[in-house]
Chain A
Amino acid sequence: MPTNVVMPQMGESVAEGTIIKWLKKPGDRVERDEPLFEITTDKVDAEIPSPAAGVLAKILAAENETVAVNTVVAVIDGQMPGEAAESAQGSAVAPAPRAETMAQAPPAPAAAEAPPAPAKALPEQVRPGEKLRSSPLVRRIAREHNVDLSRVQGTGLGGRISKKDILKFLERRTPAMGETRAVRPSVPSKPPASYGQTVTFSGPTHVTAMTPQRRLIAEHMIASKKTSAHVTTVFEADMTNIVQTRESMAAEFGRSQGLKLTYTPFIARAAVEAIKQFPIFNSSLEGNNIVYKQAINLGIAVALETGLIVPVIRHAEEKDFLGMARAVQDLASRARSKQLNVEEVQEGTFTLTNPGIFGSLFGTPIIHQPQVAILGVGVIEKRPVIRNDAIAIRSMAYLMLTFDHRIIDGAIGDQFMAFLKNQLETWQEPVI
């Protein structure tokens, strides 16, 4: 029986995906769950496994082609003789992609909170595990106010988002945040028609379309600039202690833990300690309220050839140095091999970026909305500095913090940085 392979839905708001690469050719034998093609979407890049075993009969969407979710992109023909029949008889089967989103499933209500069981079921009773439930009215309000419904808590039957829920959600937003597009972390499924102006240039030009990921980044950057009052402060930290620790421990670390010892977990640990001291850096502005998040979900910017991605270390406050190092390496390597889950790039509360690896002294990073601060690290290099009225050679780095001046004053920003600098310069925590 032929099985249709469709473009999977990578998150609720994602409407389309672009095929980057086919990993099999027509006629190739493919096993069930074997990587079949690579895609890029507004939210994440992913490798899509085959929904069935058989022979790749037809490829219906070429590389670099963008197709709507659930479009049939290939057909896998039948089983090899002797194999058990697949249940999907010629019907469209969405492969279970690695990056299948979990974020949209409504939480099953706790028994105590469940509404009294109705005597007779209303039509369209909600069953747990189904997709986000709302109503025509709620969807219209969401559309008119640019609300991402996955952010709205539903209190109706089975977690359905009711009119009351969305009106309450809107009430909590201030006019300043009326443009949700500017603050919400996910991209609308229909991006604006264009980001740039018409180019008038008399000489020859070369035109390429923006990839979905590029469009997403463009939108986020502009939206963030429009939303936050960006201010950047720069400190210089003496990293000699950390450089020495890293150099002396790198071999042992690799041998015993199978991990490469980089500077990132040092910075991440120090940043987490600083955030614990100054929790406002782990907040968001929602309506007239500052929402402090208990968990520190640390985003780590990773530069890929195709663009930037920010995987998130959840509950970074619970991780010691080793746990942090492992998480950093795991997320970075999976980001590069496009194997991140959607939820692993969502719900960050604070972001680290490291332009120093490209030689940058310092920069002025843009805040990843709806966060309120982003910490950057410049290149770590030996510089002549004054120590005890003598010129010394020390490993130095500039640290820069861009923060949202709407809710964080300069003094607080600088206190945060002074604390961070001190953490790094007086590093004590054992790495193993």
Chain B
Amino acid sequence: MNKPMPQLTYLEAIRQGLWEEMERDASVFLLGEDIGSYGGAFKVTAGLQEKFGEDRVIDTPISESAIVGAAVGAALMGMRPVAEMQFMDFISCGLDQLVNMAAKIHYRWGAAVPLVVRGPSGAGVHGGPFHSQSNEMWFVHVPGLKVVAPATAYDAKGLIKASIRDNNPVIFYEHKYLYRRTREEVPDEDFIVPLGKAAVRREGSDIAVITYGAMVWTALEAAELLAREGISLEVVDLRTLLPYDEQCVLSSARKCSKVILLHEDTRVGGLAGELAAVIAEKAFEDLDGPIVRVTAPDTPVPYSPPLEEYFLPNVQKIADAARQLAAY
């Protein structure tokens, strides 16, 4: 407790995690569009090329397929590549490399593919339909991958470091809304947050709200509001979406007996559906009400600010759902 811990933004925490891993392990290198001399579209990698050189922070052509393909090849050759998608929306161009190569190589040939594909996702910054998507479920459905989505600065650093050290391909979803809006004390020392472990952000007794990414903060705000009305929300931050922490999900569901599944992703095929199923299968006899989803509707993310606001789950929508469920 000699020196106070520095306050880091979510973005700075990711940068620090990358920095530390590159210092710690010479096989770690970065590649992506404009990540070197420009420092990345959001400046996540600012300063890294100066420090580690052009061989370890590589500016690539605008081809996600090439970026992911090169990363898979490098990983097979024993490197630990961290590829940046300028926006996670464009990861679809590298889909084949990820789902048919990276995800299956270990299963098929026994070779490890220790790569990370990271980048900004999510809405709330008026980015429109091509720069705001939450497409994590494309990868949650692919056995062989891991999918991570931190909500806090501390986790962003701990999870990026754990992802780099993991021997499997990890898709790392950074929420662009959080980049500079959330900051907290993050130790400038080596630590990791283990993959596959959720965190209970707020203890409660009436309704478990299970969520991830930026919605963790929205859920916490709603919990604060509802506490004044006598409704106690527990907020679970999944942190890793694949493999998700089933034990934590079930334990909060059992404890509260009522569950709201919340995500910014659209409804059909969203993670809420999977979680609802596992809760119904394994905690049915602990339920005291219907399993409720609060999600975005099944549309592209609108550009228009009022429409985007309508599209996104917010405190009001969570509070409405929670009040109904509490009265059920």
A contact residues vs B (CB 8 Å cutoff): 115-116, 118-120, 122-124, 135-140, 156-157, 160, 162-163
Contact = CB atoms under 8 A, between A and B. Distances in A.
B129 interface: no
B289 A135 contact: yes
A330 to B, nearest CB: 43
Contact of B288 (A116, A122, A162): A162
A204 to B, nearest CB: 49
18 contacts: A120-B320, A120-B324, A122-B289, A122-B290, A122-B292, A122-B328, A135-B289, A136-B285, A136-B287, A137-B257, A137-B286, A139-B285, A140-B285, A140-B286, A160-B328, A162-B289, A163-B257, A163-B288
A120 B288 CA distance: 19
B288 A115 contact: no
Interface residue range, chain B:
10 to 19
B1 interface: no
B284 interface: yes
A231 to B, nearest CB: 43
Contacts of A140: 285-286
B105 interface: no
Contacts of A123: 290
A314 B134 CA distance: 64
Interface of B: 257, 284-290, 292, 320, 323-325, 327-328
A162 B326 CA distance: 10
B327 A135 contact: no
A187 B243 CA distance: 48
Given A135-B287, A137-B285, A162-B288, A122 B324 contact: yes
A101 B265 CA distance: 48
Q: Top 4 A-B pairs ranked by shortest CB distance?
A: A163-B288, A140-B285, A118-B324, A135-B288
B18 to A, nearest CB: 44
A136 B328 contact: no
B257 A122 contact: no
Contacts of B287: 135-137
Contacts of B285: 136-137, 139-140
Contacts of B324: 118-120, 122
Contacts of B320: 119-120
A222 B138 CA distance: 63
Given A119-B320, A123-B290, A156 B328 contact: yes
A139 B284 CA distance: 11
A119 B327 CA distance: 13
Given A119-B320, A137-B257, A163-B257, A157 B328 contact: yes
Contact of B325 (A122, A136, A139): A122
Indicate the member of B284, B285, B292, B320 with the most A CB atoms within 10 Å. Answer: B285
Nearest to B290: A123
B292 A136 contact: no
B323 to A, nearest CB: 8
Contacts of A160: 328
A116 B327 CA distance: 9
A138 B290 contact: no
